[in-house]
A and B are shown apart, each in its own frame.
Chain A
């Protein structure tokens, strides 16, 4: 799935990283606890979260993730956008809630653990 497909499936608005929408992704996770993301997620490319602070961007960067989707219309701060730009991470937000957003992506083939992102 391309990141642009995630945008379409979630009816999301891209905040930054438009130039990377063609990037292919194969797995995702959804969490508001960054320590859980750091613990259980391996080779995941996309993070869905309702948490808005700079540590979300740093967590994604540490995990080599390429896209963060903020659910429930949460908006990243200018500082977060700047950090994401430096790392080439795509930020987008969707009106959908976490459960629905994850379900829509999963149903369309973007699975959770177990698929390696090469």
Chain B
């Protein structure tokens, strides 16, 4: 199918309280489109973790969700500091989040591993001092 539906959001990096708003909206939109519930859940959790990461580490960015006939692609882009060691960042429990983030319930080093676990494919393009783009695909 050539036709696809695209949702684009700005993720505000200045406010932890509002982090996750885009994911909540995507969940609603996907429900309205009649996407299978399990796929909706996987997309929302992966995107939510990504949004939180963008707020904690990268001063926000943009989130794009593209819905195809049989898959959903999530593209999260930021102009943050980049990830120095992707392999290390993918390890469960490894985190560079500051202590105040841990007191808010995040920064346990589960973000990227969770995103990988809930999606069928995840690609990380990152450059120090330039930014990071994470592309995730959920098939259904």
* Chain A residues packing against B (C-beta within 8 Å): 32-36, 38-39, 51, 53-56, 58-59, 61-64, 79
Contacts and interface: CB of A to CB of B under 8 A. Distances in A.
Contact of B24 (A36, A61, A79): A61
A104 to B, nearest CB: 23
B17 A53 contact: yes
Nearest to A37: B105
Nearest to A58: B20
Nearest to A32: B105
A12 to B, nearest CB: 21
A14 B113 CA distance: 35
Contact of A58 (B37, B48, B92): B48
Contacts, number: 67
A79 B16 CA distance: 14
Interface in B105-139: 105-111, 113-114, 117
Interface of B: 16-20, 23-24, 27, 37, 41, 44-45, 48-49, 52, 92, 102, 104-111, 113-114, 117
B24 A38 contact: no
Given A35-B49, A36-B110, A38-B48, A61 B105 contact: no
B93 to A, nearest CB: 10
A6 to B, nearest CB: 21
Most chain A CB inside 10 Å of its own CB: which residue of B44, B106, B109, B111:
B106
B106 A34 contact: yes
Contacts of A79: 17
A53 B24 CA distance: 16
Nearest to B19: A55
A35 B20 contact: no
Nearest to B52: A55
A56 B105 contact: yes
Contact of B23 (A32, A39, A58, A64): A58
Given A39-B110, A58-B20, A58-B48, A64 B105 contact: no
Closest 9 CB pairs of A and B: A35-B110, A34-B105, A58-B20, A35-B108, A51-B105, A62-B44, A39-B110, A33-B108, A62-B48
B137 to A, nearest CB: 18
27 contacts: A33-B102, A33-B105, A33-B108, A33-B110, A34-B105, A35-B107, A35-B108, A35-B109, A35-B114, A38-B45, A38-B114, A39-B113, A51-B104, A51-B105, A53-B16, A53-B104, A54-B17, A54-B18, A55-B20, A55-B52, A58-B23, A61-B27, A62-B24, A62-B27, A62-B41, A63-B41, A63-B45
